[in-house]
Structure 1
Amino acid sequence: MPKADPVKIIKSLSSALSGAQRPWRRMRLKLPTPAALGLLLALALLALAHLPPLPDRSPHLLPASSPPSPWWEAAATLSGERSCSKGPPTPPAHPWQDQPPSWGRRRQQRAMGDAPPWLSADDLQKMQLLTHGRVVSKTRIPAHGQVLRVGLRAVGDTEGDALPAGPEGDCQNGRCGLIKRPGDLYEVLAFHLDRVLGLNRSLPAVARRFTSHLLPYSYTNGSPRPIVWWAPDLQHLEDANNDQNSCALGWLQYQEMLQPHGLVPVAGDAPCSSIPRTEWSYLALFDFLLQVHDRLDRYCCGFQPDPSEPCVEEMLHEKCRNPAELVLVHILVRQSAPSRLVFIDNAGRPQHPEEKLNFRLLQGIDSFPEVAVAVLQSGRLQSLLLESLHVDRELWESQGGAEGLRPLLQTIDRRARILLQYIQEQNLTVFGDLPH
């Protein structure tokens, strides 16, 4: 049977419609709407039935995000996961996991082209690995509870796929990340704040939902978690009780180091003695904006802590009466850059009350980095952070976009204004970025 010509069919139907209208026109009446619609619908369906099929151009959609649940509202429950017999269904695997390698490379190039200038090419490469890398191994971090270190293989990494999965080998090659608790998502914002201010001392971090069968259910129940790049050459002390430092440093020694003509911090200790005074200014500014106490004031000596604070429960706050007993923690450098501090565990306190801001974090600091201060003075801190956070699709969508993130950014902005006022009242200076 010869195939019908859609053009001829359309012409015939058009003639029929025109003929059907003539009696009605002579009577000066309009064609009834149902009849007209019926003829037009039949005409459209018949034409479409004879058209050649179109190629598939449907977009590859990302998995739908859960309703916004700001992580700062869960800050009080960070000591453990919620216990529940049933969790939300595991979201489907990300579409890029099934795409050819060239698709992943094009996506990375497009993301790099759209990224703000303060995110370097190296930052974006590590963020891509953390966001899309396939989990190939896992190890527990002693004394760190819910933190898992995972080995990652980039999409399309055929060379890496040929190697046996092993956490030590992957981590030494820079293909590892630390998965932290859902409440630690603040650490992702801390990374972007670090880059916006031009400090560049924290490690890349992204938000991600995990689906790997290698991970426990609490990691794959649909909640976004932060994953932070694992730097393979962090310098750690051999002391098992103090392995989160590159050097042992007490509060009094630290204050002596901050003096213009201070003594060498710890005689014979290369990592500490190579850290210049300017590095502590970077750290103090960063920690004040985030209200991170665990590095410079883990004893909460700079404010009156609530009874539920770990520094009170662990009887640390009582040591504030004897400064000689106070020590600094998380003071780390990399072997490849022993004069630059590395900021880790940056999930500070988004809900720390403004009337209890810890100014002890600024004690002894007499100057601040010029670039960072200029950003704070510009009045654009919130908009710059929004532009940067928008690069992290999972964080952006899970927190409700700009509107969901706004309260947190306003808190950071208010602290920035307080810091600027402090700098002015104390008549402190600024310094340019010094090579070291």
Structure 2
Amino acid sequence: MGKSRVHWFCCPFLKLSSKFRRYSLFRRSLLVTIACIVYLFFVISQVGLSQRHRPRRADEDEKRRTRGLHHLEMNGAADLQTGPVSSALPTRSNVVYIRLKSKRLKPAHIRGTIRPKLRKKVRRKTTSPPVKLGTAEQYAEQINFAFEKSRKHATYEDYKSLKTVDNDGADAQVSSIRIYSQMAPPWFSSQDLKTMRFLADAKVLRMKEIPLRDSPSLLIFEGEATAPLTNQNHSSVCGGQCGIIHGPVDNTEVFAFHLDRVLGLNRTLPAVSRKFSFLHDGQSCPVVSLDASLYPEALAAGPLNVKLTWREYQNSLTQRCWYKNIKPKPDSGCSTIHHYEWSKVALFDFLLQIHNRLDQSCCGFRPRREDVCTEVGQRASCKDLDNIKLANINYRSHDLRHLVFTNNKGFFDRNEDNLDFRLLEGIKELPDQAISVLRSRKLREKLLQSLFLDQLYWESQGGRPGIDKLIDVIEKRAEVLLTYINAHGVKVIKMND
């Protein structure tokens, strides 16, 4: 019985195969082709049907899940009492996708962290009269009048509450000298930091205007420091610790101080930015530490300075005065200043293009019409270069060998094709510590870390973009200086004296 069924199923297939063998090769090929086409059409139709049904199934699944969630929300209270209802839960677990925000680009590391928000500042109206331009006596009277007014309405227990004198509404707990890390930059000494905090935060006791003989008058303030400054004694000058207030246009004093410390020269006096609401319309202005050792006689007499002509200065460079602490001969024409000091001042003045020391008559570059040397007609003395006098070559009464860089008015708007190379004339050696900073390509990083400490100066220059522009100028001049060193064979040596 089983064999008959197999034979019955196989007979049609055997008959078709025998007929297929009898056909010609062409007819057999045609039949195979037609069979393949039919099979291919059948496969494609099946795939299309499956694709049509898939979205419908997905919609149905979504409806089921939605109905389950809706049922769960409507019966949530009952579920909490009677226990979870398994039939109300969705059949598939919900997956929540969270789109992560892209990482912020971190700013360049400036030694510090983000400063916490301060409480809202409250400005108090003051009745101090506006400061008008006039004679020195009128200016001093106006300042004293403002102080007398402030004494009637405020006490001196907390100087931050004295809006007419000190920083504009700053909180007593916050200093404009910001150090957020555990250690300040290593190029600042502990005494530098104390002096900077005194200049920025000290309670102002009184102010004076001191006329000088051959220079503009000095506006100084006497402050009360929380801790005494060990290396300063101003009892013979102003009775306490003092600072010199410059105009807002002299803000390069602050930049010069930080550049001096970064380069390791340590020849400038500490300087910070500070606001006095009754001076200069409340703008930030540089305040420089007053060193009494520069004024042994009196402030009006001016600081101790070396009087040299350009010829005498070039002769002292040739003589290498006080090199290796060898006392020069009496007829050598040497001054009391050590030979290395001229190299340091030339390097410093070239980077900032300060010409009021070595080139007071502006003979080494093309001055603008508004420059002082053009207004007073000093350019005429350039015809006799050897007899032009150097100015602002100051030193301390107890240290005759080293210079103190004061009145550091630099220029950032002078192009590379108009730099004053006269400042480098006669210089054969430069300090290796300063040149190593310029060659290491870390000048920008160090200046950013340093200038960030002075918040008022940082903000007055437009924040990071403005500071970057100033550093761009110094970096370009540093490249020019390094090229000059290679071209003229200037030696780079250690200068520890």
Aligned counterpart in structure 2 of residue 401 of structure 1, from 450, 463, 473 = 463
Aligned counterpart in structure 1 of residue 422 of structure 2, from 360, 364, 367 = 360
Aligned counterpart in structure 2 of residue 93 of structure 1, from 169, 173, 177 = 169
Aligned residue number for residue 305 of structure 1: 367
Question: Contact 2:294/2:395 (CA < 8 Å) preserved in 1?
Answer: yes
Question: Contact 1:235/1:246 (CA < 8 Å) preserved in 2?
Answer: no
1:124 aligns with 2:183: no
Deviations 1:78-99 (A, max 9, x none): xxxxxxxxxxx97743222xx5
Aligned counterpart in structure 2 of residue 279 of structure 1, from 321, 329, 341 = 341
Relative contact order (alpha carbons < 8 A, sep ≥ 6): 1 or 2 greater?
Answer: 1
1:186 aligns with 2:252: yes
Question: Structure 2-normalised TM-score?
Answer: 0.61
1:252 aligns with 2:311: yes
Separation in structure 1 between the aligned mates of residue 284 and residue 121 of structure 2, nearest angstrom: 12
Alpha-carbon distance, 1:184 to partner: 1.0
Aligned counterpart in structure 2 of residue 231 of structure 1, from 275, 291, 294 = 291
Aligned residue number for residue 439 of structure 2: 377
Q: Gaps spanning 5+ residues in structure 2: where?
A: 1-72, 90-115, 123-162
- 1:21–1:187: structure 2 CA closer, same or farther, 3 Å change rule? same
Structure 2 SS opposite 1:149: strand
Alpha-carbon distance, 1:356 to partner: 0.6
Deviations 1:26-67 (A, max 9, x none): 9x89xxxxxxxxxxxxxxxxxxxxxxxxxxxx9655969xxx
Aligned counterpart in structure 1 of residue 279 of structure 2, from 218, 224, 230 = 218
1:176 aligns with 2:252: no
Residues 360-369 or 252-261, more deviating:
252-261
Q: Gaps spanning 5+ residues in structure 1: where?
A: 1-17, 30-57, 65-88, 160-166, 212-216
- Residue identity matched to 2:169: A
Deviations 1:251-287 (A, max 9, x none): 11001000045699996999x7321110000000000
Alpha-carbon distance, 1:302 to partner: 0.5
Alpha-carbon distance, 1:132 to partner: 0.2
Question: Contact 1:332/1:343 (CA < 8 Å) preserved in 2?
Answer: yes
Question: Contact 1:173/1:232 (CA < 8 Å) preserved in 2?
Answer: no
Structure 1 SS opposite 2:441: coil
1:326 aligns with 2:388: yes
Aligned counterpart in structure 2 of residue 288 of structure 1, from 340, 350, 353 = 350
Separation in structure 1 between the aligned mates of residue 481 and residue 431 of structure 2, nearest angstrom: 13
Alpha-carbon distance, 1:402 to partner: 1.9
Aligned residue number for residue 153 of structure 1: 224
Question: Contact 1:63/1:92 (CA < 8 Å) preserved in 2?
Answer: no
Aligned residue number for residue 65 of structure 2: none
Structure 1 SS opposite 2:436: helix
Alpha-carbon distance, 1:347 to partner: 2.0
Separation in structure 1 between the aligned mates of residue 296 and residue 384 of structure 2, nearest angstrom: 27
Alpha-carbon distance, 1:430 to partner: 1.4
Question: Contact 1:281/1:368 (CA < 8 Å) preserved in 2?
Answer: yes
- 1:345–1:92: structure 2 CA closer, same or farther, 3 Å change rule? closer
Aligned residue number for residue 79 of structure 1: none
Separation in structure 1 between the aligned mates of residue 378 and residue 246 of structure 2, nearest angstrom: 25
Alpha-carbon distance, 1:325 to partner: 3.1
- Residue identity matched to 1:358: D
- 1:360–1:300: structure 2 CA closer, same or farther, 3 Å change rule? same
Question: Contact 1:247/1:269 (CA < 8 Å) preserved in 2?
Answer: no
Question: Contact 2:294/2:304 (CA < 8 Å) preserved in 1?
Answer: no
Question: Contact 2:382/2:388 (CA < 8 Å) preserved in 1?
Answer: yes
Separation in structure 2 between the aligned mates of residue 300 and residue 374 of structure 1, nearest angstrom: 30
- 1:232–1:20: structure 2 CA closer, same or farther, 3 Å change rule? farther
Alpha-carbon distance, 1:187 to partner: 1.0
- 1:261–1:114: structure 2 CA closer, same or farther, 3 Å change rule? closer
Question: Contact 1:188/1:205 (CA < 8 Å) preserved in 2?
Answer: yes
- 1:153–1:302: structure 2 CA closer, same or farther, 3 Å change rule? same
Aligned-pair identity (%):
36
Alpha-carbon distance, 1:210 to partner: 2.1
Give the length in aligned residue pairs.
345
The Cα RMSD (Å) is 3.9
Separation in structure 2 between the aligned mates of residue 369 and residue 342 of structure 1, nearest angstrom: 17
- 1:154–1:19: structure 2 CA closer, same or farther, 3 Å change rule? farther
- 1:111–1:170: structure 2 CA closer, same or farther, 3 Å change rule? farther
Alpha-carbon distance, 1:237 to partner: 8.9
- Residue identity matched to 1:204: P
Separation in structure 1 between the aligned mates of residue 348 and residue 252 of structure 2, nearest angstrom: 13
Question: Contact 1:245/1:330 (CA < 8 Å) preserved in 2?
Answer: no
Alpha-carbon distance, 1:399 to partner: 2.2
- 1:265–1:122: structure 2 CA closer, same or farther, 3 Å change rule? same
Question: Contact 1:235/1:245 (CA < 8 Å) preserved in 2?
Answer: yes
Alpha-carbon distance, 1:245 to partner: 5.0
Question: Contact 2:208/2:221 (CA < 8 Å) preserved in 1?
Answer: yes
Structure 1 SS opposite 2:340: helix
Alpha-carbon distance, 1:311 to partner: 0.9
1:70-85 equivalence runs, <5 A: none
Alpha-carbon distance, 1:433 to partner: 2.5
Question: Structure 1-normalised TM-score?
Answer: 0.69
- 1:399–1:265: structure 2 CA closer, same or farther, 3 Å change rule? farther
1:5-154 equivalence runs, <5 A: 21-22=76-77, 60-61=118-119, 92-96=168-172, 113-142=182-211, 145=216, 147-154=218-225
